[in-house]
Amino acid sequence: MRDPEKIRNYLLASMALILGMPLYSQTEKQLVPSDLRQQTIVTEPVTLRKGFFRIGTIANYRVADRYFDSNRTREYYLASVWSTKSVYNLALQYGITDRLEAEIVTEYMYNRTKSQSVEITPGTNASTTVTNKQVGFGIGDTRINMKYQFFPETKYKISLTGILNATFPTGKKNPSNVKSATQYDLPVGDGAYAMSGEIYARTILYPYSFTAYLTYSYNFEGSKKIEATDPKESNFRLGNRIQTGASANVHLNEWIVLANEISFYHDGEGWIRKGSTVTIPQSWAAVYVPNLVFQVKRFRLGESVSIPLLGKNVPADPLFIMTVQYVF
């Protein structure tokens, strides 16, 4: 038989420790910079390290409310038409070496256009309402990107990366379920192959990073039904695009980055051969994109808005973008 006094002493000592623990567990753990060693869009390498994957999705949403006309004036769409476009893309990146990265991107699109107009005949006091609804959803086009660091950041103050991109027209390119010229399902793909090359430069001056890029995209000739009621496909070619941009990014704290990008793109003249040849006019836009990116360990959440500042023959509405990424 053990000494009851001793047992009680052990119990009292244990109680003291146990009672102290809940008090300790109630204290809040404050995240400090040294706790967070994750790499953000400022500090991460331009390409993924060898053997690492990154999976992510980018969702964007735009409403058609205003546009830049051919005189570069911002105008409203005046007719009673409501159009929205949502894109949910899925991207998988893989670091083949510390300097070479491969990426495949596919997207799911949801486009919607609704319009309604009324025809009134005052003489007979009769009215007719005409409603049109076009919806398009499904897998869109697919892109494959290869990135290679020519001048890696580990050796040079300013890194230089080359990016090659190929677009495959995997999305449905023709209107389907055609009931009339205004009642059909919208296509979700461009219907043509495209190639692009990009030079991307970056330097890090912690907590800042600065980037600049120049891209040229070449669109190949394709064929598709331009109007829903066309009996056969017509050949077409979209204009080539040149795009350039620069961004300044800053760590607001160890896990939030504010990125600011200004970009400019110009789409050259394209054409449609439908009996006679119709020209697709040139267009361009200057865009500002503020982007707030939250990084928690390997998980990243980004929120940005693409705001068209100036333009010609392009939409003038903001594009809302949400990004979710995970590295493993």
Partner 1 sequence: MSRLKYILAIALPLLAGSVLSAQVTSGERDKYTLLTMPFNMRQLTLYKGQLAVNAGYKFAVRSQQFDSNGDKQILTNSGTGSVYHYYFADIRYGITDFLEIGAETNFIRHGMRDQTTTYVSATATGTQSVTVNKLSEVKGLGDILLLFTIRPPMQYKWFDLSATGGMFLPSSNYQPAKPQDNITNIAAANSYLINSYNKYTNGYGVPVYMISGSAKAVINKITFAADFTYKTPMHEGKNIRWIGTMTDKQFSYYDKTYQYLLSDEYSVNGAIHYQLTGWFDFYVNGFWQMTKGGWTEYYGNKYSNTRTSLLTLEPGFELQISPSLTIYQVAGFPLSGKSSDAPFYLFTTIRFSNFLFSK
- The footprint of partner 1 (CB under 8 A) covers 8-9, 12, 15-20, 23-24, 27-28, 30-31, 63, 65-66, 76-82, 114-123, 131, 252-253, 256, 292, 317-318, 320
Between 6 and 155, whose beta carbon lies closer to partner 1? Answer: 6
Give the span between the Cα atoms of 104 and 108, in whole angstroms.
14
CB 321 to partner 1: min, Å: 12
Chain-centroid distance of CA 83 in Å reads 19
Residue 1 or 18 having the CB closest to partner 1: 18
Cβ proximity to partner 1, 91 vs 285, nearer residue: 285
| CB 129, min distance to partner 1, A | 9
Q: How far is the CB of 93 from partner 1 (least distance, A)?
A: 28
Sign of CA dihedral 90, 95, 96, 101: positive
Q: How much helix, strand and coil, in percent to the nearest 5, is found in the chain?
A: 10, 60, 30
Q: Is 97 or 116 the residue whose CB approaches partner 1 more closely?
A: 116
Nearer to partner 1, 41 or 48 (CB): 41
Residue recorded with tokens 């409203």? 76
**Least Å from the CB of residue 258 to partner 1:** 9
For the bound state, the minimum distance from the C-beta of residue 287 to partner 1, rounded and expressed in Å, comes to 16
Nearer to partner 1, 19 or 205 (CB): 19
- Shortest Cβ distance from residue 32 to partner 1 (Å)? 12
Question: Which residue shows structure tokens 């891209």?
Answer: 215
Instruction: Name the minimum Å distance from CB 293 to partner 1.
Output: 12
Reading the block at residue 151, the tokens are 């001048």
**Is 1 within 8 Å of 7 (Cβ atoms)?**
no
Note whether 196 and 143 are within 8 A (CB): no
- Report which of 304, 244, 236 is spatially closest to residue 272, judged by C-alpha positions: 236
What tokens appear for 101 in the block?
Answer: 């990265």
- 307's CB contacts (< 8 A; 6+ apart) are 287, 288, 289, 290, 318
The rounded distance, in Å, linking the Cα atoms of 320 and 63 is: 10
Nearer to partner 1, 5 or 275 (CB): 5
Separation of alpha carbons 320 and 47, rounded Å: 26
Closest CB 29 distance from partner 1, rounded Å: 8
Alpha-carbon span 189 to 58, nearest angstrom? 17
CB–CB of 148/162 below 8 Å? Answer: yes
Nearer to partner 1, 88 or 320 (CB): 320
**No. of H helices and E strands in the chain?**
1, 21
